[in-house]
Amino acid sequence: MVDQAERLREMFKEKKPQKPPRKKNLSRVIVVASGKGGVGKTNLVVNLAVAIGQWGQKTIILDTDMGLANVDILMNLKPHFSLVDVIRGHKDLREVMLEGAYNVNVIPGGAGLSEIINLDSHQREQIISRLSYLDDEGDVLLIDCAAGLSRNVLSFIAAADDVIMVTTPEPTAITDVYSIIKIVNNYNLHSTINLVVNMVHSIEQGAAVFKRVHKVCHNFLDVDINFLGEIEYDRYVHKAAISCSPYILQYPRSRAAQCVRRIARRLLFEEDTIHDVAQKKGGFFNRLLRLWSS
């Protein structure tokens, strides 16, 4: 029989799990956008964040789409304040950030986010210092955007390290995602754009949509499309949403959950192949606020 002292000795012999090194700046800011609405961005962001969290990385979701199916609803959180309160100086970021499952924190963007433009340099510096707390907080910041390309969405895309565009196999969704990629290309914002094809009925369908988008971008634009993967059409997505829980937690064996885990794995571990070649300088919020003020 092993006595308690023996057990303690054994415990101390065990190798301590290695913590990933803390970086000075947020290590990665990934923005999720689409041409058409209702293609599954919010569901992707929430489940991707939990998948990344399950691998021990800290993830922050910035919810900038104040539409109907919000991040906080899918994660059963009750927001009282938003990033707008932080920017206006009424609240501290800590008071605004909500704690979700598996290392996932959520920052509600707030309804007035799109009105925050034309800041002078003093206001900008103040806001950046209020947001600097974030620099130490997360390994990944995922930004959920409204559909289409407003000035705000364009600023988020411009300031982020990586972009994930979401489409479905529906022809209108494909046309719309191409239009948005074209604009991103015209502004020369990213050399690589990641694509997720959601609600597919087979793996082949996902690959076919990717090929189509890739071909037209290759022929007419100067941007490379990287296929992050497909998510199958799965009725468990809707079932989980009704119970206000991410499907990756509620139905971890569902087809959609398996697909999202695969996408998360590619995103985290095949970084070299998808990370934008042109590394952005300075912090994310610094870049964002500069864009908002220009």
Ligand X SMILES: Nc1ncnc2c1ncn2[C@@H]1O[C@H](COP(=O)(O)OP(=O)(O)O)[C@@H](O)[C@H]1O
Q: Which residues bind ligand X (CB under 6 A)?
A: 34, 37-43, 69, 198-199, 231, 233-234, 237-238, 241, 256
Q: What, of Mg ion, ligand X, none, does residue 233 touch, CB below 5 to 8 Å by kind?
A: ligand X
Closest contact distance (angstroms) between CB of 46 and ligand X is: 8
Closest contact distance (angstroms) between CB of 248 and ligand X is: 12
Residue number, 39 or 163, with CB nearest to ligand X:
39
Give the interface size with Mg ion as a residue count (CB under 5 A).
3
Residue number, 215 or 238, with CB nearest to ligand X:
238
Torsion angle in degrees (nearest 10) through CA of 266, 284, 22, 17 = -30
In the set 30, 35, 42, 47, which binds Mg ion (CB under 5 A)? 42
Residue number, 43 or 57, with CB nearest to ligand X:
43
Residue number, 65 or 137, with CB nearest to Mg ion:
65
Calpha distance 75→69 (Å, rounded)? 11
Residue number, 39 or 264, with CB nearest to ligand X:
39
User: CB of 288 within 8 A of CB of 109?
Assistant: no
Q: Which stretch binds Mg ion (CB under 5 A): 37-45, 134-142, 167-175, 279-287?
A: 37-45
Residue number, 131 or 241, with CB nearest to ligand X:
241
What are the residues facing 230 on neighbouring strands? Answer: 197
Subset of residues 58 to 87 that bind Mg ion, contact rule: CB under 5 A: 65
Q: What, of Mg ion, ligand X, none, does residue 267 touch, CB below 5 to 8 Å by kind?
A: none
Q: Nearest 5°: phi and psi at 80?
A: -110, -30
Closest to 133 in 3D by CA, of 292, 285, 275, 267: 285
Closest contact distance (angstroms) between CB of 257 and Mg ion is: 19
Q: What, of Mg ion, ligand X, none, does residue 256 touch, CB below 5 to 8 Å by kind?
A: ligand X
Closest contact distance (angstroms) between CB of 41 and Mg ion is: 5
Q: Which stretch binds Mg ion (CB under 5 A): 2-10, 35-43, 90-98, 180-188?
A: 35-43
Calpha distance 206→56 (Å, rounded)? 29
Closest contact distance (angstroms) between CB of 118 and Mg ion is: 27
Residue with tokens 């690959």: 207
Closest contact distance (angstroms) between CB of 155 and Mg ion is: 18
Closest contact distance (angstroms) between CB of 34 and ligand X is: 6
Which string of x and - marks every residue 241-270 that binds Mg ion (by CB under 5 A)? ------------------------------
Where on the chain is the footprint of Mg ion (CB under 5 A)?
A: 41-42, 65
